Amino acid sequence: MALVGSRELIRDINEKTILKEIFLEKQIDRASLARKTSLSGGTVTKITSDLLKKGLIRVVGESTSTGGRKPVLLSINPNFGNILGVKIGLGYLQLIITNLSGKILSQQRKEFGEELDPHKISYLIKEYVEQKNKNHLIGASVAVSGTIDSIKGVVLDSFILNWKNVELGKILKNILKVPIYIINDADSFTLAHLWKGKLKKHKHALVMILGVGIGGSLIVNGNLYTGNGGAGEIGHMTIKENGNKCSCGSYGCLEAEASFESLVNKIYTKSENTLLKEYYKTFKNTELSEIDFIRLSLKEDPQVSHEVFNEYSTLIGTAIKNLINIFTPEYVLIGGEALEFSDYFLDNSVNYARKNAFGNLGERVIYDVDNLGPKAWMLGGVYQVIQEEMFYIKV
């Protein structure tokens, strides 16, 4: 029996290896598959024929022949199934359904005010799936800000959502009945760029996400660096001794000094503008109202807003400089909602890091901005579901 079991296991490993290679190459013929996976031609023929029968892959054409019959090109069947990607933000859900090539088939934003009950949020997610998903659902990922136990699907600590030890994976699995992956939102953002964006070309990179909170990730040797779990909480590095109290409980964290909330408070304190003072009193603590306030302040009190953004640019530049000194990335990618205001800080931040990093480390870096936009928050999680559900062996 043990022998039969191990034969099945080997077959399973070979099948997933071939499937992953086809996925990564997008289009590939059988001979190239055999060469890349070091499997025999016979094994590749047998397994690809099974995968074709199951509908997991499809024939998409012929490659140029070097003589004899033209080799058939195989690709993943993008419509084999769908994946759900969710981001839970402060006061909103962002939802997408994609096929296996990451094409977005449906997307929706749902506002839920300040109601953060995980059961209610899970039912909002279910409602969306029932309305919009038209194909077999392979799995779902949910991106959340904070520290995540990805194995158990538990949100350990999300300061923005004010969640502690929330078993979101379990709750959602009971409702959706598919595999659920809970992922840190910054990690999801970064995985999306590894899959579909500019990070594909860089082995050592730093990702900074600036907005309502401040997050980040590191790419080391082409892979997301997770450390001992929870790596990349760059928003909680201390940037100012005796600074503002942070949502994490500490003082002077980068996030406490340079989140949208902090920008709003600084503008409110410094500005004499009555319209801003009035608006500040009315808005609720959601991402949208913070962004609206900053937009309004740039119009109503440009002088104070520019002063606050100047200070912001130095804080961000200092953080980038420190991270360059420690990790020496070749590439720094900056993303997040703050890019809407990039005219007021980005050049200054980059110049600060470039000039002040150790030796010439800052000058060797390519500084760039996100080109995927908000869908990256969900797309990286989708990529994780595809990898885990389709290419990894579960033992």
Rule CB under 5 A: which residues touch Zn ion? 236, 246, 248, 250, 253
Closest CB to Zn ion among residues 259, 305: 259
Buried b (16+ CB within 10 A) or exposed e, 230-255: ebbbbbbbebeeebbebbbeeebbbb
Cα-based distances in Å from 153 to 124, 182, 274, 349: 19, 5, 46, 36
Q: How far is the CB of 253 from Zn ion (least distance, A)?
A: 3
Q: Give the nearer residue to Zn ion in terms of CB position, either 219 or 246.
A: 246
Query: Least CB distance from residue 155 to Zn ion, whole Å?
Result: 17
CB of 262 to Zn ion, least distance (A): 11
The helix/strand/coil state of 362 is coil
Nearer to Zn ion, 276 or 320 (CB): 320
CB 236 to Zn ion: min, Å: 4
Contact predicate 161/185, CB 8 Å? no
User: CB–CB of 277/271 below 8 Å?
Assistant: yes
Of 47 and 239, CB closest to Zn ion: 239
The least CB distance from residue 251 to Zn ion, in Å, is 8
Tell me whether strands 57-62 and 137-144 are parallel, antiparallel or unpaired: unpaired
User: In angstroms, what is the minimal distance from the CB of 213 to Zn ion?
Assistant: 10
| Beta carbon nearer to Zn ion, 81 or 211 | 211
Least gap, CB of 235 to Zn ion (angstroms): 6
Q: In terms of CB distance, is 21 or 257 closer to Zn ion?
A: 257
| 327 residue type, one letter | F
Q: Are the C-beta atoms of residues 277 and 297 closer than 8 Å to each other?
A: no
Minimal CA–CA distance to 227: which of 316, 321, 326? Answer: 326
* Alpha carbons 362 and 163: distance in angstroms, whole number: 37
Nearest CB to Zn ion, comparing residues 257 and 337 = 257
What span, in angstroms and rounded, lies between the C-alpha atoms of 342 and 357?
21
Q: How far is the CB of 90 from Zn ion (least distance, A)?
A: 16
Q: How far is the CB of 110 from Zn ion (least distance, A)?
A: 28
Residues ≥6 apart with Cβ < 8 Å to 150:
181, 182, 183, 184, 229
Q: Are 85 and 382 in contact (CB under 8 A)?
A: yes
Nearest CB to Zn ion, comparing residues 146 and 169:
146
What 3-state class would DSSP assign to 338? helix
Query: Considering beta carbons, is residue 172 or 246 the nearer one to Zn ion?
Result: 246
CB within 8 A of 295, min separation 6: which ones?
none
- Residues 301, 271: contact at Cβ < 8 Å? yes
Task: Give the C-alpha separation, 321 to 319, whole Å.
Answer: 5
